[in-house]
Structure 1
């Protein structure tokens, strides 16, 4: 790993801060390469901007202003899709935008790009003859406000700059079509215009910091094409609305700021606002601080509640993902306040011992057997971090007791979830997928795991031992003894149920037909969690099976390549991808559990070797696909192509934890900065 630097170096030519993620002209004029790199900037309130390093949208989820709207259940909506700029040099017009239509890219402004820097905020530099222009995109922290600063670095001014906003005003999962219902009449505001295409949406105010001419010329641009949606088997064409255009004079030494916000701004303050927001951006000039910035992007503070976005660009909040990712995204940075607020917000939505798994805030789904069990693990990690259990019990003790009593009681939870006489948790009914392996095709789970699932019962055993420890610390010996007796029963049943002596590892699940012997990563939790129900010899057997057949430095395969059901590639339409999702595809979130298991079985020295291999791999990975972050999945077979969401919370959390465990000083004293 590199030596961590705390200073930001300057690019002497144009005063640019050093960026860990940067591309120069050769990578940018190569359009296929530039389109493969996507960047993300969030406002810490659930909104984001995202596109490619060519500034060409390749997904329906891309946009410069994508916001969660309470009027629509908190779903994210694309308001501003992109901006197209044209500059006039020596009487000729040059178009800086890039957009794809069926069979053609037009305009092709990427050919003028000479550099891209991710930090301190996404920054692009264009050269047209003797003219050099810098464009900086900044999404304000905790606000619904995009600021774009244009600076003339070289060349005689003033130059005429024309800016055309392309509006979508639609759900991020949908596509817009030209229609007669859009409100095309806009209202003048100081140095700009404002409008709202449809009822229920916020008004979008578009303004400039200097005097500009806005010409209202409403028009639809048809059949904009998103290449990534085409590859994924979805509808990939949409129509975008351009209300008109701004014409401004760009002068050397006088930056121009374009603003798009959901409330009217004072034009005279826009440059000050930009500089203030820019100053809040943390440095991203090393692997460590770029990783920290990636972690902070998933936290969404909605004032009265806080949640974790499971992944960008299409995932919302998921209970399971939240509980797995939360410790890694917050505790290495000392963000106890965020940990508490996220967990408390989630617990408020608990129903009958189950935590919400997914869905809109006004209609969540309670279809996860493991979310309640990961809740125990998250609280346990909080207690370990804090050094005692008292505050955790005060905040979440009632929820812990309710979940435990519901799972261990005589009655069953929905989907037949509950403890059986042997002490183990049984879960599932035909047609439903309740574990993290939850892909469903045509109403049938791809990995049907009804019965006793190995990771569910590893989590259950660990939860009981944690409750035993907590009750002891709280001075409740009777309750602690009750937990100890149950834990002993579960431990005996676990080995008798899951251990496959002929194979030397654990069954993935056990149902009425017997044990499923597929080699999957789920069994690793019986080794990686603090309380293991296995003997040292059994732990070694499990770890060796996983190491031999599933481990890569990018993550763990979800199925052994030796299995006939193994899918080597995650690609194609939704059905093809769902069939491969948990049938060999690599998931990085398992890396932390793998490292914990390696340290337990092989010792600290071997663990150190594994950790450094993972970190070196991920340091390279942050320059690909999702820039400065870590994605959801990879192909099971080499060269392990990227797939899924380009920024995934539990992937980043796993690498955060690995980095902090190897270099505790990396995040010491870290404070939440502005968004990147």
Structure 2
């Protein structure tokens, strides 16, 4: 039985099926995303969404959807589904769905009278091309299929309305047609594995609504252009493959191309396999570099997210070569920043003050996974350069203090991962001495010290690193540990922020923590009591002022709630590390039970992955981006750690 299979009863119930989404990527930045019932519910949804380098690598929806129609005895049965103005759904093709299965590739089974038709989709890993295979499993009379493409040609975060600037002309190509609707866009090539009839019948379909955008209080209605339709007869037992891409291809190659892609897939038959597939979907590769995108469908390549997600999305699924490649790309960008050279424009936020500290943490996880000898041989120079650069005051916004701690300034720009803003100003003005910055700093000093043991070239540096670490440790305790047994979130001059936030979990989860075991346990107790949920750690305790557990409402309301209550799954990794450090092997079964809450998510929201955040109160509904790299990564890293402890 498939791990991800949904039957007719769920699929025809739009209240249930529209809330479940699916995502497929090709590691080149392109993706396909929609609801499992085939109705696009977000403006970012589409059958072929691609980055265009000439347009700042932003994602563009080229082919929004492809409506299929089954024709028998002259009667058409349209399998498509769209929402139009006023909440009207048409043409209600979901009523023909008998099953949706996503174990290997997304597979939808339709039944129209005596016709049984399956639809399966894969992305080409070699280029921005989607392949859809239609198989007529059963039919009792002659059957014809029609395919009506809905074209968007727009940036994924924008909407299009009916206009006269569109270029309606098409070019006939081998077994298909091509379009380029607007200047500056690439050409979209649509082809079939055997020759169809193309019928030019251009129309604007007006008032298409995206219900998820409506819920988010943002523009949600657009018009899409349908230039005509393909028509092709099909026999019982026959398969036809549709291809949409940015170049013309040989129709004869579609079958082999499809089979190769299917054979390379890891079947989603378990919690781990679902997350493994999800982890690989965050990879973005070009000719020279390899990156991690922060999430879908509106994520970017961000430096902080890259270093946090890197161990879990590579090492935890036994992909060390991808760790090397992504680290090489990210380090090159960070080193360029350190050396005041040209930045990598694809990586955002390389200048943020905690980025180099997370880079060291990422290398530390590499050492734990593959051995510190390998980490020393490959990455000790990087660790040393980062630590010495910070010590020398090289970072303009991470300055060492005489106490051994490091300070940062956040007056009009957020500097930590809690980066919500209102009218351009930080909603959580964390400035001065930040708890996780200083915990990461102490951890980096001690890791550098221990990693360089026995390496003669670093003897002088080691002495200096240890001296600063020995200064930092008591300063950290004096500055952050309060009489209530938890850690201040930040201290700025005479102001100590009393908010109970999950950044303290980072401080107790690191391998080298400034706190002893007793102090860690005290902090852990507070985190468990006030922040822990089945979906990660709350961003603010319900007992703290300003608690907003639900990520709902207008953009302004959601921004104010963003870091003031909703849970973040990625923090479960730090929590699990801290719990095991405090309770040892007796804590393993507890953490294992905690992960059940994430396994439940495999059939919710975006199936097979983990959402960006979850409401802080029951029922802990998933919100935000449908798939988040740091979340998937840290749950995977925790699973791997538990497996090693149980071995």
State the TM bucket, normalised to the shorter chain. over 0.9
Is the 1:74–1:360 contact (alpha carbons within 8 Å) kept by the matching residues of 2?
no
1:89-104 to 2 correspondence within 5 Å? 89-103=72-86, 104=88
Confirm or deny: 8 A CA contact 1:355 1:371 kept in the other structure.
no
Match of 1:528 in 2: 509
TM-score, with length taken from structure 2:
0.96
After TM superposition, the structure 1 stretch with the greater mean CA deviation from structure 2, 622-631 or 361-370, is 361-370
Change beyond 3 A, Cα 1:363–1:633: closer
Alignment of 1:128-207 (within 5 A): 128-207=112-191
Asked if residue 24 in structure 1 is aligned to residue 4 in structure 2, the reply is: no
Match of 2:478 in 1: 496
Query: 307, 310, 315: which is aligned to 1:326?
Result: 310
Cα distance in structure 2, aligned partners of 1:285 and 1:384: 28
CA contact (8 A) 1:310 1:322 kept: yes
Is the 2:412–2:424 contact (alpha carbons within 8 Å) kept by the matching residues of 1?
yes
Please name the residue that 1:258 is paired with.
Answer: 242
Give the one of 193, 200, 215 matched to 1:209: 193
1:617 paired residue among 569, 591, 597: 597
Q: Say whether residues 1:517 and 2:490 are aligned partners.
A: no
Question: How many Å separate the matches in 2 of 1:660 and 1:386?
Answer: 13
Task: Say whether 1:381 aligns with 2:361.
Answer: no
The question of whether the paired residues in 1 share the 8 Å contact of 2:380 and 2:448 is answered with: no
* Change over 3 Å in CA distance of 1:157–1:276 after alignment to 2: farther
* Residues 1:37 and 2:37 are matched in the alignment: no
**Any residues of structure 2 matched to 1:337-356 within 5 Å, and which?**
337-350=321-334
Name the counterpart of 1:447: 428
| Distance in 2 (alpha carbons) for counterparts of 1:360 and 1:35 | 38
Inter-partner Cα distance in structure 2 for 1:665 and 1:342: 27
Q: Residue 606 of structure 2 corresponds to which residue in structure 1?
A: 626
Which residue of 296, 300, 316 corresponds with 1:316?
Answer: 300
Cα shift at 1:504: 1.0
Is 1:637 matched up with 2:617?
yes
Q: Decide whether the 8 Å contact of 1:349 with 1:355 is kept in 2.
A: no
1:205-354 pair list within 5 angstroms: 205-350=189-334
Call closer, same or farther: CA 1:521–1:95 in 2, change over 3 Å. same
User: What per-residue deviation string (whole Å, max 9, x for no partner) do you get for residues 358-397 of structure 1?
Assistant: x993584445221111001011111232323566554x55
2:528 corresponds to which residue?
Answer: 547
For residues 433 and 4 of structure 2, the distance between their equivalents in structure 1, rounded to whole angstroms, comes to 45
**Any idea what the Cα deviations from partners look like across 1:510-565, whole Å, max 9, x if unmatched?**
00232112111101122110101112221111101101100112100011101121
Structure 2: distance between partners of 1:351 and 1:360: 10
SS in 1 for 2:255: helix
Q: 1:86 touches 1:162 (CA, 8 Å); kept in 2? A: yes
**Residue 546 of structure 2: aligned partner:** 565
Deviant stretches of 4+, over 4 Å: 351-356, 389-394, 396-399
Q: How many residues align?
A: 643
User: What residue is the counterpart of 1:15 in the other structure?
Assistant: none
Q: Verify the 8 A CA contact 1:83 1:164 in the aligned structure 2.
A: yes
Cα distance per residue 1:392-441 (max 9 Å; x no partner): 554x5554344323322246x33x43112211111123111100100001
1:544, 1:273 → 2: CA distance?
54
Q: Is the 8 A contact 2:300 2:348 kept in 1?
A: no
Equivalent residues of 1:367, 1:434 under 8 A apart: no
Q: Is the 8 A contact 1:319 1:355 kept in 2?
A: no
Give the Cα separation in 2 of the matches to 1:284 and 1:322. 25
User: Counterpart in 1 of 2:29?
Assistant: 46
Give the conservation status (yes or no) of the 8 Å contact 1:471–1:479.
no
Tell me the distance in 2 between the aligned counterparts of 1:317 and 1:233: 26
- Structure-2 separation of matches of 1:393 and 1:72: 40
Instruction: Tell me if structure 1 keeps the 8 A contact 2:178–2:188.
Output: yes
Aligned position for 1:74 = 57
Distance 2:402 2:522 in 1: 28
| Aligned 8 A contact 2:64 2:152 in 1 | yes
CA deviations over 1:59-112 (Å, ceiling 9, x no partner):
011111111111112111111110011111233111100001111111111111
Change beyond 3 A, Cα 1:428–1:466: same
When the two chains are superposed, the root-mean-square deviation of aligned CA atoms in Å is 2.0
Report the Cα distance in structure 1 between the residues aligned to 2:200 and 2:45, rounded to whole angstroms: 25
Preserved CA contact (<8 Å) 1:157 1:250: no
- Distance across 1 between alignment mates of 2:170 and 2:162: 17
CA contact (8 A) 2:303 2:347 kept: no
Q: 2:486 aligns with which of 495, 502, 505?
A: 505
For the 8 Å contact 2:68–2:146, the answer to whether it is kept is yes
Corresponding residue for residue 590 of structure 1: 571
2:404 alignment counterpart:
423
- 2:551·2:566 contact (CA, 8 Å) conserved in 1? yes
Query: Is this contact kept in 2: 1:353–1:406, CA < 8 A?
Result: no
What residue is the counterpart of 1:61 in the other structure? 44
Q: For structure 1, which runs of at least 5 residues remain unmatched after alignment? A: 1-17, 669-676
Change (3 A) 1:423 1:492: same
Gaps of 5+ in 2: none
Deviation, 1:633, is 0.6
Q: Give the direction of change, closer, same or farther, for the CA distance of 1:520–1:355 in structure 2 (3 Å limit).
A: farther
Q: Deviations over 1:301-327 (max 9, x none)?
A: 112111111111111111111111110
Find the partner of 1:652 among 632, 635, 640: 632
